[in-house]
Chain A
C-alpha cells in the first residue's frame, strides 16, 4: 500500500556515542501521522491566501497554516465559471514564502489535482466544495495518499463518510465567500447535536441510526464513546470577524478556517491578528472586545437566503 511504504535508510553501526542506534524502518504517510498533523493545528487559524505576500502577512499574524488557492471564495462567486486547483507556480511561490504548513484546495473527486499537490510538497489537501466538483459520484480515495486531507461536512453522516474515505480532519462547510456565519453555525450545531444525541442510544439503536445517516456503524459508535468526532473538527465558511471566530470555538470547533474574511476586509493585517487572538481567548469577552476595536470594515456580506440554488456551494458533495 502506498500509504504504508517502508523505507530502508543507511544502517549505521551502534557506536560508542550515548543513545546512538541503528535506524531501520521509517514508516511514512500512516493514519497516525495524518491525524497527528491535523491535531497540531488545534486552537489555530488557517487563512486563505492567493500569493506570497498574503502568505507572509498570514504567517506574521500568527496563522498556524495557510490555504493556497487561485481566488478567495468571494471572488470565485463573482467570477463564475469552473474553479480549479491553483497554478502550481503560485503554490510553490507560497511554499517558498513561509515556514508554516501550506495546504491546497482540489476539486471534489479530482484525484489527479491531489496527486499534483502532493508532488509539489503541500502539507495537507482540502477536497473542497468551494471549487467546482470533478466527480458527482465519488470523493477522492484519500487512503492512497501520503499526506493528510481535510474535507467539508454539514452533518454527522457526511463527516463520517469522509473520515471513512480517509479524511484526517473535518471542517464544517458553512457557506464560503458570504461573510455570513449563519451556515457555519448551523453545521457546527448539527454535528455537535447529533453526537450528543448518540449518548442516549444503545448499540442496536446506533447501528440503526448509522444506516439512517449513511455512515459506518463503527464510526458512529466511536463518536459516541469519545463524545466527539474521531478527527479534529474545524469551522469554515462565512467567518468574517473575531466574534464570529470565537463563537465557532465556543460551539465546539477545534480551530477555524478564514477564507475571504481576512483579505477582503479593509485592514487584513489587523483583522488577521485580531482573529488569531480571539481564537486564543475564545472564552474571554474582554479580550474579544479589545481586539475588535477599530478594525475597519469586515468583508461585505451576503444574505444566504438570496443565493440561487446554483450559487450555493455547501450542497456540492454529500
Chain B
C-alpha cells in the first residue's frame, strides 16, 4: 500500500512533524512507496492518504484554514488525521473560543490553553493505553485539554486536569507534542492503524 502523509503547513512546527513521520515510516517498514509532504491547498490535501495537523497558534491556523478554502475539504477528508496541540483544538466538536471554527472530526469538547501561560508549560511521563515500552515522555506547551468526550471516542491518556490523548475511527489527537521528543511510538501506532 502506498502511504502519502501530508502535514498541514499553514503555520506551526511543520518540519518536526515531517521528520517524525519519516522516522516512523522507516521503523514501521511499509511495503509500497511512502511520501511525506507539506499541505497548503485543497489540491495538496486531495493527494494525501493521511494528514498531520501540527501545533502552532490555533486561532491563526483556524483563520488560515478558512482563507485557504480548506475548511470543507478537511471536514470531508476520508483519510486518518494525526493532530497535536493546536491540531487537537481544531479536531474538536466544541471549543471554548469563538475565534476558532473547529472541524468537528472527534466528538469532544476542548479547552484551549488549559494550563495557563508558558511558565506553566511542562514535561512529564505518562502511560498511554494499549502501548508497550513504558510511559511516554509528553511535552505540554500552552496545551489544550479535552473536558468531555463522546461515547465513540477512545481515551488513550488522561492526567489530573483532564483528557490528553484520544482516538476516534481513523483520527488521533494529543494535547502534547509527540513530534518533539524523538519517541515515534504514537506516530507508528497511527501508521499501523491506517494499514489495517
Least CB distance from B116 to A in Å reads 8
Least CB distance from A229 to B in Å reads 13
Q: Which of A117-125, A136-144, A180-188, A193-201 contacts B (4 or more CB under 8 A)?
A: A117-125
Residues of A within 8 A of B99 (CB): 59-60, 99
Given contacts A33-B141, A44-B56, A62-B64, contact A147 B118 (CB under 8 A): yes
A155 at the B interface (CB under 8 A): no
B39 at the A interface (CB under 8 A): no
Q: Within the complex, which residue of A29, A39, A41, A280 is in contact with B119, where a contact is CB–CB below 8 Å?
A: A29
Bound together, the chains give a CA A23 to CA B122 distance in angstroms of: 12
Q: Which of B20-28, B73-81, B101-109, B124-132 contacts A (4 or more CB under 8 A)?
A: B124-132
Given contacts A9-B160, A23-B126, A39-B13, contact A100 B57 (CB under 8 A): yes
Interface residues of A, dominant DSSP: loop
User: B122 to A277, Cβ gap below 8 A?
Assistant: no
A27 at the B interface (CB under 8 A): yes
User: A62 to B63, Cβ gap below 8 A?
Assistant: yes
Least CB distance from A99 to B in Å reads 6
User: A19 to B157, Cβ gap below 8 A?
Assistant: yes
User: A28 to B121, Cβ gap below 8 A?
Assistant: yes
Least CB distance from A283 to B in Å reads 9
Residues of B within 8 A of A64 (CB): 11, 56-57, 60
Given contacts A19-B158, A123-B118, contact A40 B123 (CB under 8 A): no
Bound together, the chains give a CA A118 to CA B158 distance in angstroms of: 29
In the complex, residue of chain B having the shortest beta-carbon distance to the beta carbon of A9: B160
A223 at the B interface (CB under 8 A): no
Bound together, the chains give a CA A32 to CA B9 distance in angstroms of: 22
Mark interface residues in A37-65 (1 if CB within 8 Å of B CB, else 0): 10111111000000000000001101111
Bound together, the chains give a CA A72 to CA B116 distance in angstroms of: 27
User: A37 to B118, Cβ gap below 8 A?
Assistant: yes
A294 at the B interface (CB under 8 A): no
Bound together, the chains give a CA A215 to CA B83 distance in angstroms of: 38
B142 at the A interface (CB under 8 A): yes
Residues of A within 8 A of B56 (CB): 40-44, 64
Bound together, the chains give a CA A65 to CA B12 distance in angstroms of: 12
User: B142 to A123, Cβ gap below 8 A?
Assistant: yes
User: B124 to A19, Cβ gap below 8 A?
Assistant: no
User: B159 to A40, Cβ gap below 8 A?
Assistant: no
Residues of A within 8 A of B86 (CB): 40
Least CB distance from B106 to A in Å reads 16
User: B112 to A23, Cβ gap below 8 A?
Assistant: no
Residues of A within 8 A of B142 (CB): 37, 40, 101, 123
Residues of B within 8 A of A24 (CB): 124
Bound together, the chains give a CA A60 to CA B158 distance in angstroms of: 32
User: B128 to A19, Cβ gap below 8 A?
Assistant: yes
Bound together, the chains give a CA A43 to CA B55 distance in angstroms of: 12
Q: Within the complex, which residue of B11, B127, B160 is in contact with A44, where a contact is CB–CB below 8 Å?
A: B11
